[in-house]
Amino acid sequence: MRIAVCDDEALFLEQAISLLKKLCPQYFDDIGIDGYTDNVKMLLQHEKEPYDIVVMDIQMSPLDGFAAAERLSQMEHECKLIFFSSKEELVFQSFHYEPVYFVRKGSEERIAAELARALKRIQEKYYKRVCLYFPDKSGMVKRVPVAELEYVESSRNYLMYHTVSGGEGRLRKTMEEEEQNLGSYGFLRIHRAFLVNREYVVQMKPNASEIRMKSGKVLEVGKHYRQTVMEYFMENKR
């Protein structure tokens, strides 16, 4: 996930980058964040290596946030926009550019909370568009959104995909391959044989030896994964 942060106030730019570095790992993997005090430089870089998210102040010079957003909309690579501003009256003008969120400048706590909501919204929208395709015996292919997957289980040379509604699918893949593919969509490896959707983990044993999924399914947590699972569980106050 490539992110550009633009603000001509150097101190605020530094603060915003710091907050994003703390928040982004909760929602995305493989994060790269670049900072700019000039939107023109950001646009030039976007043409070479497109950004997935652009977070920028509206009141900038020589090119303001709205003008930069207009240019971004004309470029080939789609990116998600988050606007910063200390002037709340600009929120209505920003709607024309379809930003994911309008973050009001103020206390660090408020900025962090609003950035978190924006990132969560981006994750959910992107996440729901991603699908896996499962062929059946008749030759038909079933499309299943990744967001509906509760957990993945290894079974010999195949992986079994279990949805939160009780459906199943099967693909010939390795767990290592799918861990890398699904890591960006909120999946967590808990065992050599299990990869779970973190959104559907509802309970954990005190020693993190087992977790319970939303469907009621109880899964074993491997010894080497327990510390990671416990840290995630406690951080998210499940």
Strand partners, 170: 160
Give pLDDT, residue 28.
81
Does residue 92 have a pLDDT over 80?
A: no
CA-wise closest residue to 80 among 114, 109, 56: 56
Q: For residue 168, how many C-alpha atoms fall within 13 Å in the half-sphere facing its CB? A: 7
Does residue 100 have a pLDDT over 50?
A: yes
Cα 73 to Cα 8, 35, 66, 69, 97, distances in angstroms: 22, 20, 11, 6, 8
CB 104 within 8 A of CB 85: yes
CB 141 within 8 A of CB 135: yes
The tokens describing 163, both together, are 């949805």
Give pLDDT, residue 236.
59
Q: Which helix (DSSP H) or strand (DSSP E) does residue 161 occupy?
A: strand 158-163
Instruction: Report the sign of the C-alpha dihedral through residues 51, 29, 218, 153, in that order.
Output: positive
Percentage above 90 pLDDT, the chain: 62
Q: Which residues contact 7 (CB under 8 A, 6 or more apart)?
A: 13, 16, 37, 56, 57, 60, 84
pLDDT classification of 61: cutoffs 50, 70, 90: confident
Residue 34 identity (one-letter amino acid) = D
pLDDT classification of 235: cutoffs 50, 70, 90: low
Does residue 101 have a pLDDT over 50?
A: yes
Give pLDDT, residue 184.
73
Does residue 109 have a pLDDT over 70?
A: yes
Distance CA 34, CA 51 (A): 9
CB 106 within 8 A of CB 16: no
Domain ranges of the chain: 2-128, 131-235
Give pLDDT, residue 86.
84
- Read off the pTM: 0.58
Does residue 57 have a pLDDT over 90?
A: yes
Instruction: Report the sign of the C-alpha dihedral through residues 158, 159, 165, 166, in that order.
Output: positive
Give pLDDT, residue 91.
79
The domain over range 131-235 is classified in CATH as 2.40.50.1020: yes
The tokens describing 195, both together, are 């990869």
Does residue 79 have a pLDDT over 50?
A: yes
Give pLDDT, residue 106.
87
Do 2-128 and 131-235 show the same overall fold? no
The fold for domain 2-128 equals Rossmann fold (3.40.50)
Give pLDDT, residue 8.
92
Give pLDDT, residue 238.
39
Average pLDDT, the chain: 90
Place of tokens 């240019």: 71
Give pLDDT, residue 68.
94
CA-wise closest residue to 201 among 179, 227, 234, 173: 234
Give pLDDT, residue 237.
47
Percentage above 70 pLDDT, the chain: 97
Residue 93 identity (one-letter amino acid) = Q
pLDDT classification of 108: cutoffs 50, 70, 90: very high
The tokens describing 207, both together, are 């020693």
**Burial (CB count within 10 angstroms: exposed 0-12, middle 13-18, buried 19+), residue 55:** buried
pLDDT digits (tens, 9 = 90+) for 132-178: 999 888 889 998 989 899 999 999 889 999 999 999 999 999 999 99
Cα 214 to Cα 67, 203, 211, distances in angstroms: 45, 9, 10
